[in-house]
């Protein structure tokens, strides 16, 4: 959902999710929900990105980042060699379609910037063990919150609401622009159990959810209501209420929920 006062075309968040082995794909919405069942899905991959408003064509950069990242199972090396390079090439190809004035071309030379959170949730293969393995890679403040028994089990890459700020690390569309960023990439591997709820959100909503849990409140009542209805208008009304109540920053807002079983 775009920040208040902007149109949907100005929303610089991007999200893509797919389930394997049937490769069903969804993306482009502000709110998505997926069931993860051991019966028919072996893996769900999801990528979420938040383009930096102050840079040119950051919406395009965020979209090509998530599009390319869910195609792969990136290791530390492959994430950069394959996903980022392919995304940079596609970003340049998209921009070549436009005839830009000289001042816009100068801004493009500086590159576009975006956060990126990539998550893979797999079932245990060839085993009767419940649950499975989780892998996640992140740069910036798009966040994953894992809820078990109505409490936060883990949050990644940011674990506390007070840790959100105004200057997250960002991936660049320029070839050399990511050299200083490499040391700040975060990686996570763990295991999940049936019943775990995975919430992937861009920074404004992720900060709100963590703060609610920290204050002893239960944001799942609101979230589950939105997920059950699966209605974009209900999600937009909820975010609009949070903004008007000054409970959430006025920023592009995206949420994906994955419930394991």
Q: What is the CATH number of the domain that holds 194?
A: 3.60.40
DSSP state for residue 163 in the 8-state scheme: G
Average pLDDT of the chain? 85
Is the predicted pLDDT of residue 190 greater than 50, yes or no?
Answer: yes
Mean pLDDT for 125-140 is 86
92, pLDDT greater than 70:
yes
Report the 10 Å Cβ neighbour count for 41.
20
The contacts of residue 186 (CB under 8 Å, 6+ apart) are 137, 138, 139, 156, 157
Number of domains in the chain: 1
Report if residue 128 sits inside a domain: yes
| Domain assignment of residue 173, yes or no | yes
Most confident of 3-12, 58-67, 229-238: 58-67
d(CA 13, CA 83) in angstroms, rounded, equals 18
**Rounded-to-integer distance, Cα 254 and Cα 31, Å:** 6
Distance separating alpha carbons of residues 31 and 17, to the nearest angstrom: 11
Res. 38 pLDDT band, cuts 50 70 90: very low
Which range marks the domain in which residue 152 is found? 8-260
Report if residue 3 sits inside a domain.
no
- Please count the other Cβ atoms lying within 10 Å of the Cβ belonging to residue 96: 9
CA 23 to chain centre: 19
Supply the pLDDT for residue 196. 93
Nearest to 87 by CA among 105, 107, 70: 70
- 1 in any annotated domain: no
pLDDT at 36 over 80: no
> Can you give the pLDDT at residue 139?
94
């Amino acid at each position: 959902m775009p920040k208040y006062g902007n149109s949907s075309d100005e929303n610089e968040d991007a999200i893509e999710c797919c389930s394997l082995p049937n490769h069903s794909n969804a993306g482009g919405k502000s709110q998505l929900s997926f069931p993860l069942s051991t019966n028919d899905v072996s893996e769900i991959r999801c990528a979420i990105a938040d383009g930096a408003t102050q840079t040119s064509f950051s919406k395009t950069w965020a979209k090509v980042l998530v599009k390319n990242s869910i195609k792969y199972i990136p290791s530390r090396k492959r994430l950069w060699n394959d996903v980022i390079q392919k995304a940079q090439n596609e970003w340049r190809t998209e921009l070549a379609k436009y005839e830009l004035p000289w001042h816009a071309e100068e801004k493009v030379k500086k590159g576009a910037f975006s956060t990126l959170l990539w998550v893979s949730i797999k079932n245990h293969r060839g085993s009767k063990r419940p649950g499975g393995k989780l892998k996640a890679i992140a740069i910036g403040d798009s966040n994953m919150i894992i809820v078990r028994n109505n409490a936060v089990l883990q949050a990644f890459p940011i674990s506390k609401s007070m840790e959100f700020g105004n200057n997250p690390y960002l991936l660049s569309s320029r070839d050399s622009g990511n050299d200083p960023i490499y040391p700040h990439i975060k990686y996570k591997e763990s295991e999940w159990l049936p019943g775990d709820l995975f919430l992937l959100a861009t920074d404004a909503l992720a900060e709100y959810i963590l703060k609610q849990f920290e204050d002893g409140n239960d944001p799942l009542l609101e979230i589950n209501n939105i997920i059950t209805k699966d209605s974009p208008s209900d999600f937009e009304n909820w975010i609009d209420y949070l903004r008007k109540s000054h409970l959430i920053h006025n920023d592009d807002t995206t949420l994906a929920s994955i419930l394991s079983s």
